Structure 1
Amino acid sequence: MVGAGLLAAGLLAGCASSSPLPSSPPPSGAADSSTTAVASPSSLSPAQPAPASASPSSASAGPASSVASPPKLSPEAQRETDRLLILAAKANHPVRVRELIAAGGNVNAKDDIQDSAFLYAGAEGFNEVLELTLAAGADVRSINRYGGTALIPASEHGHTDTVRILIAAGVPVNHVNNLGWTAMQEAILLNNGGPHQQDVVRQLLAAGADPDIRDPQGRTALQNAERLGFTEIAELIRSH
């Protein structure tokens, strides 16, 4: 038992003295248009910061999932854990995301192109990752580099289940991004008007989205649907 305690203390001391991983250039981020996930699960090897106080008894504690609250990290360790969390989210790697959240990763932390784990998962329809970030306290009003919520690119891409999750989580349905578009306008203007887009528009209308918010050209969602020949979407808006 003494030998095991000394070994655990030695491992913790080794973790405390290890240098954090070097920063790497941020991958392509989520946008209001198509994006690409760029991190592979095998590349996500986090630095392992030591707890504030290490002892043989704490070294034998249970798994991270049993800890009531995340550990307190040093600023350097926090930045590295957050960086790896965003990479894991962009790789759509929910197991790694769960581990990094348990290790203290902040789901609202953003990278150099203003992507957070929450924003990227919402934009790309990575629903398991998205649910993990929401459970960890994601800020549903946070915005990306285009000034848009997670709901706007999710609507554009026709991620119907993701839209349902985001609406239920309380993401504002009438938010206008820097391009002057709401989620409904972007769902119409940047896709093909097909069944997924129709479902998105139906969900947005049911959630209280305002189809009369005009785009920078002064057109309503109905006018854009009619102009683009999306008759089913136009009828949904008229009937609403």
Structure 2
Amino acid sequence: MTAQSPTPHDLALLAAARRGDTDAVHAALLAGADVEARDEEGRTALLRTALDDRVAVAEVLVAAGADVNAQDAHEDSAWLVTGVTGSVAMMRALLPGRPDVTLTNRFGGVSVIPASERGHAAYVRAVLAGTDTDVDHVNRLGWTALLEAVILGDGERPHQEVVEALLEAGADPSLPDGDGVTARAHAERRGFHALARILRRAESQAAGAGQKGARR
């Protein structure tokens, strides 16, 4: 976090980013605004832009060297926020800034975990295809993205698509939570029959692959 109070140019940059005013962002930067200046909530212009899904503004800020990993007091960063909003366009706009995909939020999760919770299937597919995000990362609750999609999801089609995307990306369906309960067991307990079928099939395929490997 910057030690000095924001200058008038910094304030102009933050206000322009909040409005989504690309021209004003350019002008503030040219006038000498600090691209890492923070508002009263500790958010940089880029983080504020990511929250509001102002993709064009984000592209300008990233080109100006804005840190896509800068975190506020709540441990949110522009990159991590894309998992909450599910914005594939914003995620891709931040890639040139070399995001740290191992960076975690206050719950110890990487961006794919909140995306899975919220049913952002398109984002889950895009971030796993476009980065080396660990699909089996475990957060402080003891949950992977797969577990989060089942435990905190509603079992409907968006969460089914998330689970399918995670499994296609190599998520391990056998990984349990801290109490030893697997994603399939959670789905069955909650009456998510479609999810349970998807997970049961994945477990069977994994077991079959393991048996084939053992016979070689």
Shift of 1:21: 2.1
The CA distance in 2 between the partners of 1:43 and 1:232, in whole Å, is 45
The CA distance in 2 between the partners of 1:93 and 1:118, in whole Å, is 13
Letter in 2 for 1:215: D
Question: Counterpart of 2:135?
Answer: 173
Local SS of the residue matching 1:165: helix
Shift of 1:137: 1.2
Q: TM-score scaled to structure 1, two decimals? A: 0.70
Q: Which structure's residues are more often helix, by fraction?
A: 2
The CA distance in 1 between the partners of 2:23 and 2:50, in whole Å, is 10
Question: Counterpart of 1:20?
Answer: 10
Mark the runs of 5 or more structure 2 residues left unpaired by the alignment.
Answer: 1-6, 203-216
The CA distance in 2 between the partners of 1:43 and 1:21, in whole Å, is 15
Structure 2 CA distance for partners of 1:182 and 1:44, relative to 1, 3 Å: farther
Question: Counterpart of 1:103?
Answer: 64
Q: CA RMSD in A?
A: 2.6
Higher RCO, Cα 8 Å, sep 6+: 1
The CA distance in 2 between the partners of 1:177 and 1:199, in whole Å, is 21
Structure 2 CA distance for partners of 1:154 and 1:91, relative to 1, 3 Å: same
Shift of 1:230: 0.8
The CA distance in 1 between the partners of 2:8 and 2:184, in whole Å, is 58
Local SS of the residue matching 2:29: coil
Local SS of the residue matching 2:137: coil
Return the match for 1:152 from 113, 122, 135: 113
Letter in 1 for 2:188: E
Shift of 1:20: 3.0
Deviation larger for 102-111 or 227-236? 102-111
Structure 2 CA distance for partners of 1:159 and 1:44, relative to 1, 3 Å: farther
Letter in 2 for 1:135: P
Return the match for 1:48 from 19, 29, 35: 29
The CA distance in 2 between the partners of 1:205 and 1:192, in whole Å, is 18
Kept in 1, the 8 Å contact 2:79–2:91? The answer is: yes
Return the match for 1:206 from 161, 168, 172: 168
Kept in 2, the 8 Å contact 1:49–1:77? The answer is: no
Question: Counterpart of 2:37?
Answer: 80
Mark the structure with the bigger radius of gyration: 1
